[in-house]
Amino acid sequence: RADIKMEYKQLKVRNLKLSDAGIYTCKYGSHKVCTSLHVFKLTISLDGHFLQNEVPELILMQNSPSPLPDLSITLFNSNNNRVTPELQSKTHQKYILNLKKLEAVDSGTWVCQVHSDSPLINQNISFAVKVLGFQNPDLERKYATVDSTVILSWHLNSQKIKWKEGFTGQLNWKQQESANVHELLDFNVTAQGQLHTTKKSSNFLFEIPERKPESTIEVKLPKVHFNHSGQYQCQLEYQGRHTESKIELVVMKVSANPDGPLSRGANVTLTCQVSGPLPPNAYLRWERVNGTKTDIKNSEQHEVKLEVNISAAGLWSCHLIEDNDRKISLHYHVEKVSVWINYVIIGASVGGSLLVFALGCLCIISGINWQRRRQQANRMAQARQYLLENKTCQCQQ
């Protein structure tokens, strides 16, 4: 593993090992020069290929012909920000350090800075870290209204880090934390970075958009139902390890009881409901468009259902507000019964009452007449019976 360049008096050693440390002597005639070689070896677990939220382990070893110095180690990530590792174990020859949980943005070239005062050592050792993961937040929350269209997207960083080995994954959905898991689609990425998706569920209404950026997993719900809410979990798997990213879909719906036009003097109850729990900084609000402050009602903390009892017609809006920002709104138009409809209703009511009264009177009169005819028939029957019993026969002489 060594070459000698006589014209420059150089000894070149390739692929240094720890055992190559020592004192190297160059003799030329009566001249002799000695050089001490100190060798470091830095290794990183999993060959530098990690998934999101995994914790790398660094091992720094040293060898020297002189007594081994006590080293000071400083790490800088790919953004040149200082990282404080956790020192797992330490000897003069071997240092084992654990890094923090990695994120997708940590991919790149890191630097391990080795320092010693005696002997004076300032050595920078660079190493590559590749983190395969999602560029989404850890838990993303997305809001939608009933019958709207929503697209859920997971953005991978496999193209940016030029991942040369294939990985697989799947997208699952469940309504609640303890509910059954429904597998929606499988996907895999080839060594060339091409993404292939396969739809798995036939009982769930969703689409896979055809046009999408590379390394992006998307599902499209063309018409959101209230029961489409829940957790959508995209999971990556690589060499038996996996990482995941969740999107919480919260769906809103509104309803009225009774449903229909609002007549004069009547009330209607409007109900606004969301499908899942809201964060502490989010709440629901009912308000009438172009109304007054009295036409506004806010929900209490953690309430997922807000009712308002109204007597004023018009356009009412339910808003989901998070951090003073309206995330989604759903409108409900309360119609007022027209004047002619009111007259028709009043006329029908009066006419119906008169009809009932007339029918009642007719029934009473018919009853009285029937009673009189029955009594008269009884009297005539009694008279005929009396005549029959007192009947005499006279014969001519």
User: For residues 163 and 82, which has the higher predicted lDDT (pLDDT)?
Assistant: 82
Distance CA 59, CA 64 (A): 17
Tally: H helices and E strands in the chain? 2, 27
For residue 313, the SS3 value is coil
Is 77 within 8 Å of 128 (Cβ atoms)? no
User: For residues 235 and 215, which has the higher predicted lDDT (pLDDT)?
Assistant: 235
Distance CA 221, CA 310 (A): 34
The 10 Å CB-count burial string (b at 16+, else e) for 248-282 is: bbbbbbbebeeeeebeeeeebebbbbbbbebeeeb
Distance CA 263, CA 286 (A): 21
DSSP string, 240-305: TEEEEEEEEEEEEEEEEES-SPBPTT--EEEEEEESSPPPTTEEEEEEETT--GGGEEEPPTT--E
Look up tokens 């029918």; give the residue: 359
User: For residues 123 and 341, which has the higher predicted lDDT (pLDDT)?
Assistant: 123
Residue 324 Cα distances to 3, 194, 320, angstroms: 71, 41, 10
Domains of the chain: 18-131 (2.60.40.10), 140-251 (2.60.40.10), 258-334 (2.60.40.10)
pLDDT of residue 341: 46
Strand partners, 34: 25
From 13-27, 112-126, 194-208, the region with the lowest mean pLDDT: 194-208
- 230-255: pLDDT as tens digits: 999 999 998 889 999 999 999 999 99
Mean per-residue pLDDT, 280-288: 93
Structure tokens at 217: 């997993």
Per-residue pLDDT band for 167 (boundaries 50, 70, 90) equals confident
User: What share of the chain in percent tops pLDDT 70?
Assistant: 89
Mean per-residue pLDDT, 171-196: 82
Distance CA 22, CA 2 (A): 15
User: For residues 36 and 9, which has the higher predicted lDDT (pLDDT)?
Assistant: 36
pLDDT of residue 348: 59
User: For residues 43 and 394, which has the higher predicted lDDT (pLDDT)?
Assistant: 43
Is the pLDDT assigned to residue 115 strictly greater than 60?
yes
Is the pLDDT assigned to residue 261 strictly greater than 50?
yes
User: For residues 339 and 385, which has the higher predicted lDDT (pLDDT)?
Assistant: 385
Distance CA 273, CA 159 (A): 41
Per-residue pLDDT band for 116 (boundaries 50, 70, 90) equals very high
Per-residue pLDDT band for 327 (boundaries 50, 70, 90) equals very high
Strand partners, 247: 140, 232
pLDDT of residue 396: 52
Mean per-residue pLDDT, 16-41: 91
Per-residue pLDDT band for 344 (boundaries 50, 70, 90) equals very low
pLDDT of residue 306: 95
Q: What is the mean pLDDT of the chain?
A: 85
